[in-house]
Amino acid sequence: MVDKNAKIYIAGHRGMVGSAIQRSLESKGYKNLIGFSSKELDLTDQLSVKGFFEKEKPEIVIDAAARVGGILANNNYPYTFLMDNMLIQNNLINYSHQFGVDKFIFLGSSCIYPKLAPQPLKEESLLTSSLEPTNEWYALAKITGVKACDAIRKQFGKDFISLMPTNLYGPSDNFDLETSHVMPAMIRKFHEAKENGNSPVTLWGTGSPMREFLHVNDMAEAVVFAVENSFKDNLYNVGTGKDMTIKALAELIQKITGHKGEINWDSDKPDGTPRKLMDVSKMAVAGWEAKIGLEDGIKETYEWFLKNIDQYKQVKL
């Protein structure tokens, strides 16, 4: 058992994932959690990170910090996405190793797997073929983090592991229509269309691609499970193992938000990858499975959006 007073550092504790991890740890009685904002600690600065480890001496480190963005940002700032993410994770991994951290949990993304890898995505598909070009810079950085943790396990026998989540959603998600992912964008679009007299909602593509979604609180529970258990391998997928079409997702969100208007599909816009489903059997064998149903999870996310709606600029659709 992990001591509930063990000093646990959550890098990225203010983000959607990091804040969920903090809530989950607190709910289970962990009392010695630390986190610093990017203004307080620049994780790309090697000397600052070294000084942090010298002073704070955390026993467990959870790396939920990253520079993230959509296709546009990845395409426009490839060097920034590659280098900033490598600097962040390399500093955290290296000084966790140097300063004797007992356990390090590295969080990545399903985009580390090849664009045309067999479905569902298995951990052993890593590095078997080419990446999706639109986010390869971010993916490459995350792959190096996975391999760094693996190398430390092999060379030094330390408990450094990597968890790769599927598409995450939930409270504190990004609802900015320019930069958000598919689910929060739909929630906002349907809500604002409802407020605008149930005006039609136009969505990109045909609605035929299939996607998997994991509530961020489930992801947080998976991280806590990893804190409290030793895993046999280095790399584990985290998801539900279930997917649905984008069209079905849109209809579910429409129902939950109460929008009564039409849904129009702009088939001139790209669909993206036809399917992206994670094989989560390794995590199931280890003893963890997702619990939050998609409809319940979307309802909770919509409620959070409504409570925090003032921070989002209302636009007419």
Which residues are marked as active site? 138
Does the annotation list 142 as a binding residue?
A: yes
Distance (Å, whole) CA 276 – CA 279: 10
> Measured in whole angstroms, how far is the alpha carbon of residue 222 from the centre of its chain?
12
Instruction: Tell me how far apart the alpha carbons of residues 56 and 58 are, in angstroms, rounded to a whole number.
Output: 6
Q: Is 109 annotated as a binding residue?
A: yes
| Contact call for residues 251 and 263 (beta carbons, < 8 A) | yes
- Give the residue carrying structure tokens 């619990």: 291
Residue 181 is assigned to a ligand binding site? yes
CA distance 94 to 111: 24
Q: How far apart (Å, rounded) are the C-alpha atoms in residues 20 and 16?
A: 6
Taken in order 28, 33, 37, 42, is the CA torsion positive or negative? negative
Q: Are 132 and 273 in contact (CB under 8 A)?
A: yes
For residue 190, the SS3 value is helix
Count Cα atoms within 13 angstroms, Cβ side, for 35.
Answer: 20
Q: Which residue carries 């129902």 as its tokens?
A: 255
Residue 108 labelled as part of a binding site: yes
199 labelled binding-site residue = no
H/E segment holding residue 275: strand 275-276
Instruction: Tell me: is residue 115 an annotated ligand-binding position.
Output: no
Question: Is 271 labelled a binding residue?
Answer: yes
To the question of whether residue 13 is assigned a binding role by annotation, the answer is: yes
82 among annotated binding-site residues? no
Tokens of 57: 């001496």
211 is an annotated ligand-binding site residue:
yes
Has 166 been labeled as part of a binding site?
yes
107 annotated as belonging to a binding site for a ligand: yes
Alpha helices in the chain (DSSP H): 16-27, 46-56, 71-76, 78-98, 136-156, 182-195, 216-228, 246-257, 281-286, 294-307
Instruction: Answer yes or no: is 16 a known binding residue.
Output: yes
Q: What does the block give as tokens for 218?
A: 């489930």
Annotated binding-site residues for substrate read 189, 204, 211, 271
Annotated binding-site residues read 12-18, 107-110, 142, 165-168, 181, 189, 204, 211, 271
Annotated binding-site residues for NADP(+) read 12-18, 107-110, 142, 165-168, 181
